[in-house]
Amino acid sequence: MAGPKYPGFDTLALHAGQSPDPATGARAVPIYQTTSYVFRDTEHAASLFNMERAGHVYSRISNPTVAVLEERIAALEGGVGAIATASGQAALHLAIATLMDAGSHIVASGSLYGGSHNLLAYTLKRFGIATTFVNPREPDAWKRAIRPETRLLFGETLGNPGLDVLDIPAVAEIAHGIKVPLLVDATFTTPYLMRPFALGADLLYHSATKFLGGHGVAIGGVLVDSGRFDWDASGKFATLTEAYAGFHNMDFAEESGTRAFLLRARREGLRDFGACMAPMTAFQILQGVETLHLRMPRHVESTRTIVKFLAAHPAVAKVIYPELAEHPDHELCKKLLPKGAGAVFSFEIKGGRPAGKAFIEALRVFSHLANVGDAKSLVIHPATTTHYRMSDEDLKKAGITAGTVRLSIGLEDAQDLIDDLDRALKVSQK
Amino acid sequence: MKLDVGGKEVFAYTANHELDPAKRTVVFVHGAGLDHSWFGLQSRYFGYHGWNVLAVDLPGHGRSEGPPLTAVPAMADWLVKLLGAAKIERVSLVGHSMGTLVALDCAARHPALVERVALIATAQPMKVSDAFLDAAKRNSYDAFDMSTIWGHAPQVPLGGNPNPGMWMYGDTQARLERLAPGVLYADLKASNDYVFPGGVKRPVLFILGKRDVMTPPRAAKTLQEQIPGAQTVLIDFSGHSLMAEAPDATLDALIKFLQP
């Protein structure tokens, strides 16, 4: 560009969304541990309630500390704005509840986090929202699943736990062809490894609990809107383009074409469902975001080292990581994830369920728990934990077997991790 | 509301109210490449405080049919026709950037229509750099980048947004990306070419951002000298996008000026 330039990713990760506190000069983001905010007078109160002035009313709707996190993630993702939520699951629910009513339909990748699968397959079904799950690698399967009432296409940037790389440009084209948005769960990739909006996604969310926080001390989610989807032109989203009696008959798309989704999500979804983020949580996640650009390269570097080690290990039947040439999405990975395919991957241990059990129980550095994206290395057996509610058929579709083990590679000394894995693998084969 | 102006369907935001002949009317005119929603908070305030509001989408912008107009006087004439279609006889005008030129031209050539004029981020001449014009003419994304970065104070990407959770750069880019090819160039060229004829006799308020890169306060000096008695409000820390960067200060200045 001939003119000015944007701040770099690293700078935004440290600064976006926050000026030094005007009251105290505090450089760090202050924790505004307050439920509510004093109005200057009744006129000011009314103006805030009616969206005539910018500001905060009640921390379920917005909070100054949470707003810093929201703006920072929106900046890193290249969106128009964001809403922080109580968890990644709350972010997914908020997106769906903002877009559609009972009678609507979603087409989703079959390779999803178990919690997301539960929400779509069972819970939302009770509320009249149906989902068809498809093989994310088959563009025709996405097309075949579309119905007149389809309102959303949804997948994970890296599927869980088979590490399917979502072909975002292809799926976005399918979504846009029927005038509905593509929502992606970008938890595994973070904005450091991939910016889904640049590839065609319209909405995204993170479980901020994972790499964004990185420390494993806080549960949270962030829902981000690209602002690029034209709700008016679609004509399929009455929640955004028709008068809403629940907020002064506001037509959100008329208020702002680019902000309509976030306006409704905040003014209805946060207000009524209430799954907001606490200010302390936002502060804790911000501490992680400030080093995201330093942590992610190290996560990827150690993962590559460990993948190489496991791929050559005699106790390992198969390693599933998109950077490996035998992975079905290897070429797509090179195209969409040039900085790395993340730090979560799976492998199949020889000996099935008993070997898997012995392996996990022999590990000393890896922690056996239900999380990923921590600074500490983690391990889990999906078939008995995160995905245990799924049928055998659905497990197979998601690329899981009884011997599948999922690792999340942390920031410890890579050789220590290799030694730990090597010892546990030897134990598993006895 | 939708209106027919010259056989084209155009849009003006009314803050969800029917126009009432008994009320005073304030008209908001946006800047280059933008639309009515750039005045979101301020227009909504007036709509809920006893005013008729018409925050227009100029032709080819927002919800108004194109093509874009290519000269400021043509935009002013279009605005007069829109007011006729809405059956509004007297208004106060609030313009931003290119919209300030439309408001000034309207006040100069159609004084009977205009009560007061508020100019948010203005300059005369409103010189647009050759690089910016050239990028816009080529429909290059560089023009959107220049508009985004120069359209905000330098601290904006590193600071907080008064509107919780919003990223001002991203919102500006998303709005610009919705434009049809050629619209931004038409706006920039119209702004660049316009020469204010003078002769505005109505009360005028300048609202200027101290950190405005596109139309710095010094660039409004010639205009201020041409309008004796004009008031000026200088807003600390704000750049060119005062309605988003300093929404309350901008609104307070408008309230004081329009409701004396």
Interatomic CA distance for residues A242 and B258, integer angstroms: 31
Q: CA-CA distance, A189 to B49, in Å (whole number)?
A: 47
Is there a single domain that holds both residue A222 and residue A298? no
Interface with B, mutate which of A50, A66, A258 (most B CBs under 10 A): A258
A172 membership: H or E segment, kind and range: helix A168-177
**Encoded tokens for B128:** 């647009």
- Rounded alpha-carbon distances, angstroms, from residue A26 to A18, A34, A173, A283, A352: 11, 18, 46, 14, 55
What digits encode the pLDDT tens for the residues B98-117? 999 999 999 999 999 999 99
Cβ pair A3:B170 closer than 8 A:
no
C-alpha angle A294-A324-A359 in degrees, rounded to nearest 5:
80
Nearest to B178 among A2, A18, A257 (CB): A257
CATH of the domain at A312: 3.90.1150.10
* Whether the predicted pLDDT of A1 surpasses 50: no
| CA–CA min distance B58, chain A (Å) | 15
- Dist CA A137 CA A193 (whole Å): 20
Tell me the pLDDT tens digit for each residue of A151-190: 999 999 999 778 999 999 999 999 999 999 999 999 999 9
Q: What is the mean pLDDT of residues A417-427?
A: 97
Which amino acid makes up residue A219? I
Q: What CATH code is carried by the domain that includes residue A217?
A: 3.40.640.10
Chain A contact present for B179, CB below 8 A: no
Reply yes or no on whether the pLDDT at A358 is more than 60. Answer: yes
One domain for residues A196 and A55: yes
- pLDDT given for residue A136 in this prediction: 95
Q: Show the tokens assigned to B259.
A: 């409701």
Of the residues A261, A288, A315, which one is the last residue of a structural domain?
A: A288
If asked whether residues A62 and A134 sit together in one domain, one would say yes
Q: Which sign, positive or negative, has the C-alpha torsion A34, A40, A41, A46?
A: negative
pTM of structure: 0.96
The lowest-confidence range among A104-108, A111-115, A222-226, A292-296 is A111-115
* First vs last C-alpha separation in chain B: 28
The domain B2-258 belongs to what CATH superfamily? Alpha/Beta hydrolase fold, catalytic domain (3.40.50.1820)
Last residue of a domain, one of A288, A303, A322: A288
Mean pLDDT of A327-350: 96
Contact by Cβ (8 Å): A65, A30: yes
Residues B43-65, mean pLDDT to the nearest whole number: 97
Instruction: For residue A245, count CB atoms less than 10 angstroms from its CB and return exposed for 0-12, middle for 13-18, buried for 19 or more.
Output: exposed
Nearest Cα of chain B lies from the Cα of A193 at a distance, in angstroms, of 19
Q: What is the mean pLDDT of residues A382-388?
A: 72
CA distances for A424 relative to A71, A402, B209, angstroms = 43, 18, 64
Name the 3-class secondary structure at A55. Answer: coil
**Claim to verify: residue A76 and residue A194 sit in the same structural domain:** yes
A1 in a structural domain: no
Question: Contact B160/A67, CB-based, under 8 Å?
Answer: yes
Tokens of A126: 């009770």
The tally of CA atoms less than 13 A away on the side-chain side of residue A312 is 6
Predicted pLDDT at A162: 80
Structural domain that includes position A258: 9-288
Q: What is the distance, to the nearest Å, from the Cα of residue A350 to the centroid of all Cα atoms in its chain?
A: 32
- Cβ of A79 and B163 within 8 Å? no
Segment B54-70 shows an average pLDDT of 97
- Interface A-B, measured as beta-carbon pairs within 8 A, has a size of 157
d(Cα B111, Cα B209) in Å, to the nearest integer?
27
Same domain for A225 and A144, yes or no, is: yes
Q: Which helix (H) or strand (E) holds B172?
A: helix B168-177
Do the domain assignments include residue A4?
A: no
CA distance B156 to B150: 10
pLDDT of residue A392: 67
CA–CA min distance A68, chain B (Å): 7
Which residues fall within 8 angstroms of residue B18, CB to CB, at 6 or more apart? Answer: none
How far is the alpha carbon of B226 from chain A, nearest alpha carbon, in Å?
Answer: 32
- Distance, first Cα to last Cα, chain A: 62
Query: Any residues with CB less than 8 A from the CB of A345 and at least 6 apart, and which?
Result: A163, A303, A307, A319, A320, A321, A406, A407, A409
Region B119-142: mean pLDDT is: 96
pLDDT at B17: 94
Nearest Cα of chain A lies from the Cα of B168 at a distance, in angstroms, of 7
- Computed over every residue of chain A, the mean pLDDT equals 94
- Identify whether residues A277 and A321 lie together within a single domain: no
Pair A6, B149: CB distance under 8 Å = yes
**Minimal Cβ distance to A68: which of B42, B44, B160:** B160
Please determine, for residue A2, whether its predicted confidence score (pLDDT) is greater than 60: no
Kindly report which listed range (A98-107, A223-232, A375-384, B12-21) carries the lowest average pLDDT score: A375-384
If asked whether residues A100 and A229 sit together in one domain, one would say: yes
A354 and A407 co-located in one domain? yes
Tell me if B16 and A71 make a contact (CB, 8 A cut-off): no
Please name the residue that has the structure tokens 């159609």: B110
Residue pLDDT, tens place only, A46-87: 999 999 999 999 999 999 999 999 999 999 999 999 999 999
In this structure, is residue A2 part of a structural domain? no
- Check whether A345 has a pLDDT greater than 50: yes
Average pLDDT, chain B: 96
Q: What is the pLDDT of residues A279-294, one digit of tens each?
A: 999 999 999 999 999 9
Six-digit token string for A301: 């570097």
With 0-12 / 13-18 / 19 or more C-beta atoms within 10 angstroms meaning exposed / middle / buried, residue B95 is buried
Of A146, A144, A103, A109, give the one whose Cα is nearest residue A125: A103
Please give the share of chain A, as a percent, with pLDDT higher than 70: 97
Q: State the total domains in chain A.
A: 2
Q: What is the pLDDT of residue B92?
A: 98
CA distance A295 to A411: 8
B204 sits in the region (left: phi over 0; alpha: psi -120 to 50; else beta) called: beta
Average pLDDT over residues B180-203: 96
Yes or no, beta carbons of B158 and A251 under 8 Å apart? no
Interchain CB contact of B177 with A (< 8 Å): yes
Mean pLDDT across A128-134: 98
**pLDDT for residue A203:** 98
Confidence at A32, pLDDT banded by 50, 70, 90: very high
Q: Are A202 and A228 in contact (CB under 8 A)?
A: yes
Does A5 contact B149 at a Cβ distance shorter than 8 Å?
A: yes
DSSP notation for B35-56: -GGGGHHHHHHHHTTT-EEEEE
Contact status of B13 with chain A (Cβ, < 8 Å) = yes
Q: Judge whether B57 and B10 are in contact, CB under 8 Å.
A: yes
Same domain, A25 and A148: yes
Domain shared by A159 and A184, yes or no: yes
| Residue A357: per-residue pLDDT | 86
The answer on pLDDT for B68 being more than 60 is yes
Average pLDDT over residues A263-276: 97
Asked if residue A187 is part of any domain, the answer here is: yes
Is the complex ipTM more than 0.90? yes
- A279 and A297 in one domain? no
Q: Which of A232, A259, A288 is where one domain is finished? A: A288
A282, A298: one domain? no
Least confident span in A22-36, A357-371, A377-391, B62-76? A377-391
Read off the pLDDT of each residue in A295-302 and give the average, rounded to a whole number.
98
User: Is A91 inside any structural domain?
Assistant: yes
Averaged pLDDT for residues B31-37 = 97
